[in-house]
Amino acid sequence: MRKPEHHFQCINCGNHFNKDEVKYLCPDCSENNSSASPPKGVLKTIYDYENLKKEISGFVQLKQNNFIDILPIKNSKNLPNLRIGNTPLYSIKNIDDSKLPFNLFLKDDSQNPTFSFKDRASAIVSAYAKENGFKTIVTASTGNAGSSLAGICASQGQKAVIIVPEKAPAAKLTQIIMYGAKIIPVKGNYDDAFDLSIEATKEFGWYNRNTAFNPFTIEGKKTVSFELYEQLNFTVPDNIFVPVGDGVIISGIYKGFEDLLKLNIIKKMPCIIAVQSNESDNLIRNINKQKFISKSSSTIADSISVDIPRNFYMTQHFIKTYDGKCLSVSDDEIIKASSILSKNTGLFAEPAAAAAFAGLLSYSKNHQISESSNNVVLLTGSGLKDLNSVKKIINIPDAIAPSIKELKKLF
């Protein structure tokens, strides 16, 4: 069977584009983009669902083909040989000795090779670059996307150029350097890094992985939905709690389930709950507004600290189309949730990921979650990536003399 071609549809004007006509944003809508409001023209990748429905018998066949029929690459052999995705889904029964009154599952995406969800996107971008003769991939990043691209490129023998604001957390910068990428810290913020990466793309002909710019990051991220569907015995979860900054991860999750919906594999969408920090809630605060107004963000959860969400319009479209929900939590709740999560489950998540868990805790206090429902929290990154933010709840005790007498005093 010949792999059906994909094409693009602009999330703002709805125009369709041939896959060879554009690579990044819709040319019409992106023309007047400014850094003061969310960019327009992000593209959704569309497959030939009608033909696929005739040719594919169901989910099992899709999986047997490594989902290649609904991915924008030619051959899954071009994906990195690292284990990307296929992360564990843990069932959690109790928290602090209380039995949970609903089913809770934690999807641990810190188990990806570079310890964050971003590897799903980097893998597809890297394979596409390999198939299309790009030797160098550039990205602007606040940390995780850059460390991910650096690691994935290292595994594929590709060159990575990572442009970061100089204040990114040390562990993420260290990863980028250890993976051998060219790291370019800039005096400025993420937007400055983003703009420079676009100029570099034009100047040097590199392939660009920027999130909400390269449409294939969404295609990589959607693979988590396929896994959830399978891990829950071929059912759609009832609720999924997702940490949100720019809105690309959440759009990826929607896109994965939407592909399955369009292929008649599933019949309903999950309810997706977008979780942001109170200190950085630009996406959810503006979701029903006519005019986007940004507030300066200052959350400890650096990965979801975003002033102008770059995938605002697509996230808005998905949340409105599929009745998603929005929720914000305080930084204090995030830190507390991080500690509850670690102590109860053995999973140490970075603050952005702990925000999703804080979202579940807060939601379950204020809403009736049905007893038989399946609820998923997406844990997007490892706690070791940002030790600084939990410093205030960590108290490493003074050393004692190594005697049993001294030890007894502590119990």
Binding site for Zn ion (CB under 5 A): 10, 12-13, 26, 28-29, 41
DSSP 202: H
CA–CA separation, 363 and 322 (whole Å): 19
User: Tokens 């429905």, residue?
Assistant: 53
Chain residues 325-344 in contact with ligand PLP, contact rule CB under 6 A: none
- Among ligand PLP, Zn ion, none, the one that 146 touches (CB under a kind-dependent 5 to 8 A) is none
Closer Cβ to ligand PLP, 23 or 118, answer by number: 118
Q: Choose the one of Zn ion, ligand PLP, none that binds residue 353, judging by a C-beta under 5 to 8 angstroms depending on kind.
A: ligand PLP
HSE, CB side, 13 Å, CA atoms: give it for residue 21: 13
By CB under 6 A, residue 347 contacts ligand PLP: no
Q: Which of 350, 357, 364, 390 binds ligand PLP (CB under 6 A)?
A: 350
- Report the chain's terminal Cα–Cα distance, integer Å: 68
Contact between 248 and ligand PLP (CB under 6 A)? yes
* Nearest to ligand PLP of 80, 146 (CB atom): 146
- Region near ligand PLP per CB under 6 A, out of 39-47, 191-199, 240-248, 394-402: 240-248
215 binds ligand PLP (CB under 6 A): no
Chosen from ligand PLP, Zn ion, none, partner binding at 302 (C-beta under 5 to 8 Å by type)? none
Residue 97 CB-density burial (10 A; 0-12 exposed, 13-18 middle, 19+ buried): exposed
Helix and strand totals (H; E) in the chain: 15, 13
Query: What would the two tokens of residue 18 be?
Result: 């041939």
Residue 13: which of ligand PLP, Zn ion, none does it interact with, CB under 5 to 8 A by kind?
A: Zn ion
Nearer to ligand PLP, 129 or 145 (CB): 145
Coil/strand/helix, residue 241: strand
Compute the distance between CA of residue 239 and CA of residue 257 in angstroms, rounded to an integer. Answer: 13
Q: Give me the least distance between CB of 288 and Zn ion, in Å please.
A: 22
Give CA–CA dist 341/99, Å, rounded: 15
Query: Alpha-carbon distance 28 to 38, whole Å?
Result: 15
Contacts 24+ apart (CB under 8 A), 262-266: 262/49, 263/49, 263/52, 263/53, 263/56, 263/62, 263/70, 264/53, 265/58, 265/59, 265/62, 265/229, 266/229, 266/236
Q: Is 39 in the site for ligand PLP (CB under 6 A)?
A: no
Angle between helices 144-156 and 119-131 (to 10 degrees): 40
Q: Is 69 in the site for ligand PLP (CB under 6 A)?
A: no
Q: Is 243 in the site for ligand PLP (CB under 6 A)?
A: yes
Site string for ligand PLP, 265-304 (x = CB under 6 A): --------------------------------------xx
**Least CB distance to ligand PLP at residue 77 (A):** 28
**Shortest Cβ distance from residue 32 to Zn ion (Å)?**
11
Q: Are 107 and 91 in contact (CB under 8 A)?
A: no
Among 69, 119, 246, 259, binds ligand PLP (CB under 6 A): 246
**Which residues of this chain interact with ligand PLP, rule CB under 6 A?**
116, 118, 144, 243-250, 303-304, 350, 352-353, 380-381
